[in-house]
Amino acid sequence: MALPWYKEGLRFACTGCGKCCTGAPGVVWVSEEEISQIAQHLQVEVEKFRKRYVRVVEGRLSLKEYPVTWDCIFLKEGKKCSIYEVRPKQCRTYPWWASNLESPEAWKRAAAECEGIRSDGPLFTKEEIERECTSRSGCNDESKC
């Protein structure tokens, strides 16, 4: 099998700017297990948590967004994630998503949105990238990585 275009690795260091948690309407997929973890972290009953923070999109569970800004419901003042320690897998594995790793152009597009994708960040090896990418909730397509 041919090696991927990022065989030498890619550089990334999250600055915590919060830009990936806002912007155009999107989804933040959460699993039942993640819902329990976040609810426990916030010391809220799971059912209350669901009503307050979770919506159903195309039959799957997603965290809610604020209606005007499209900020994630857990993005608080200063654009910081208020559940960072227990954030869902989708957030933890960014930017190592198959859609960003498809091609150098896709990675460049991601870099235009994310200031953490830059040439002076720490280097992630191909193996580290692929481990993160395939661990993403809902992604079972290793062939995309």
Instruction: Give the residues lining the site for ligand SF4 (CB under 6 A).
Output: 14-20, 94, 114-116
Residues 95-131 as b or e (16 or more Cβ within 10 Å = b):
bbbbebbeeeeebeebbeebebbeeeeeebeeeebbe
Q: Alpha-carbon distance 78 to 1, whole Å?
A: 45
CB-wise, 39 or 117, nearer to ligand SF4? 117
Q: Alpha-carbon distance 93 to 96, whole Å?
A: 6
CB-wise, 17 or 123, nearer to ligand SF4? 17
Q: Please report how close the Cβ of residue 71 comes to ligand SF4 at its closest, in angstroms.
A: 12
Q: Please report how close the Cβ of residue 48 comes to ligand SF4 at its closest, in angstroms.
A: 28
Pairing of strands 123-124, 10-11: antiparallel
Q: Alpha-carbon distance 78 to 29, whole Å?
A: 23
Q: Please report how close the Cβ of residue 76 comes to ligand SF4 at its closest, in angstroms.
A: 13
CB-wise, 39 or 88, nearer to ligand SF4? 88
CB-wise, 9 or 18, nearer to ligand SF4? 18
Output the CA–CA distances (angstroms, integers) from residue 132 to 25, 124, 145, in the order listed.
Answer: 24, 10, 10
Q: Please report how close the Cβ of residue 110 comes to ligand SF4 at its closest, in angstroms.
A: 9
